[in-house]
Structure 1
Amino acid sequence: MKIYTKTGDCGETSLYGGKRVFKSNTRIDSYGGVDELNSLIGLVTSKLVIGNSNDERIKSFLTEIQGDLFLIGGNLAGSPLELTVLPERVEEMEKLIDELSTKLPELNNFILPGGGELGSLSHLARSVTRRVERQAVKLSQEEDVDKRILIYLNRLSDLFFTLARYFNLKDNKEEIIWYKA
C-alpha cells in the first residue's frame, strides 16, 4: 500500500465512513491535535532514562496513554471505537499525580514553564494537551463528543504539569516563580 493517495491534494480528507470534509473542519482539527500530542509524548518518552525504575514506570504509563490517544483520535474521527478504558486511566493518572505531588514542594505561586529538558518537554506537552482539550470542547459544541474524552484530556494536562515539576526536581532544576502571593 502506498503512503500517499493524492485524495487530499485539494484540501479535503475523509472521515471514518468515507464522508469528505475540508481539512479545516473542526473534527479534523480535533483529532489532528490528538495526533500531534501523541507525537510529543513519544518525544518525552524517548528522553526517559532506561535503568531508572521510576522513569521506566512513567515511560510505560505514557505509552499506555499513547494507545488511549489512538482510541480518542479514532473516536473523534467518527469511528465507533470503545472508550471504556478512559475512566480507569483517569483514576490511574490521579493516583500518579497524587503520588508524585507528595515528593514535590508545595506550590503557592505560578511557575514559569522551563527547567531541564524533560521538565520543559512536559510543560510543552501540558500546553499542547490544553489546546487539544479546547479543540475537543469546540467540537462538542457542534457535534456529540464523548464526555469521557474531555475529562481524560483535562486530567492529562494536570499529569503533564505534575510531571514537569517532578522531572525538574529529579534533575535539580529550580522552579522559577512568576508571582509571589
Structure 2
Amino acid sequence: MPRLTRIYTRKGDDGTTGLGGGQRVPKDALRVATYGTVDELNSAIGVALAHGLVPRLAETLPVVQNELFHLGSDLCFLEEDKATYRIPQIEARHVEALERLMDELNEVVGPIENFILPGGAPGAAHLHVARTVCRRAEREAIALAHAEQVGAFVIPYLNRLSDALFVMARYENHQRGVPEPLWNSTL
C-alpha cells in the first residue's frame, strides 16, 4: 500500500504528471484523461452509495470501486512496465463477476419492455450518471487502445460495468418500488 505523507509535489506545475513507471507525460495525454475518467466514475459510484442504495448494491459497489482502482493502476502503467512493477490489474475474473451479477439482478427485474429514461429513485438516478461516465471512460480507453497498448481486460471490463450499472439502476428502482421512467416516443 502506498503511504503518502504529502499530497502536493510541485512536479506537475509544468503541466506534466508521472505515470506509474516514472515517465513524465502531459496532463492532457489520452492515457491520463482515461484514468482520470475512471477516477470520476469511481466518485460517481461513491455519490450513489452515499445517497443510500438497497443492501445488495451497497455490498457490491465497494468491490467495484476497488476494482476501479485496479483499473486505474492498469491504465497508469505502460504495458512494458507491468511485469517490472507487478501491479493490480483487471483480469477475466473481474469481467465474469460483472456478468454473473447482471444475470442475478436481471432475474429479479425481468426483461426490458421499452427504453428506460435515467431516473426513478435517487440512487437509481445516480447509478445512471455513473453509467454515462463509464461509457465515456470506455470510449476514451478505446481511443487510447488505437494509439497505445492497454490491458487486455480494460475495455471489456468498462463495457460490462456500464451494462451492470444500467441493470443496477433498474434493480434499485425495482427494490424501492419506484416505477422505471419509460421513453414516450409519441411526445
Relative to the length of structure 2, the TM-score reads 0.85
Cα distance in 1 for residues equivalent to 2:103 and 2:169: 14
Cα distance in 2 for residues equivalent to 1:16 and 1:106: 43
Cα distance in 2 for residues equivalent to 1:151 and 1:159: 12
| Unaligned stretches of 5+ residues in structure 1 | 50-54
Q: Is the 8 A contact 2:95 2:153 kept in 1?
A: no
Which range moved further: 11-20 or 142-151?
11-20
Secondary structure of residue in 2 paired with 1:177? coil
The code of the aligned residue for 1:125 comes to A
| Unaligned stretches of 5+ residues in structure 2 | none
Q: Is the 8 A contact 2:99 2:160 kept in 1?
A: yes
Instruction: Count residues with an aligned counterpart.
Output: 175
The code of the aligned residue for 2:26 comes to F
Trace 1:26-175 onto structure 2 (pairs within 5 A).
26-48=30-52, 55-78=54-77, 80=82, 81-83=87-89, 86-175=91-180
Post-superposition CA distance 1:99-156 (Å, at most 9, x none): 1112214313211111111110010111111000111111100000112111111000
* Alpha-carbon offset, residue 86 of structure 1: 2.8
Residue identity over aligned pairs, in percent, reads 41
Cα distance in 1 for residues equivalent to 2:102 and 2:118: 18
Cα distance in 1 for residues equivalent to 2:21 and 2:92: 27
Q: Is the 8 A contact 1:109 1:180 kept in 2?
A: no
**Which runs of 4 or more aligned residues in structure 1 lie more than 3 Å from their structure 2 counterparts after TM superposition?**
none
The code of the aligned residue for 1:32 comes to G
Relative to the length of structure 1, the TM-score reads 0.88
Q: Give the CA RMSD over aligned residues.
A: 1.9
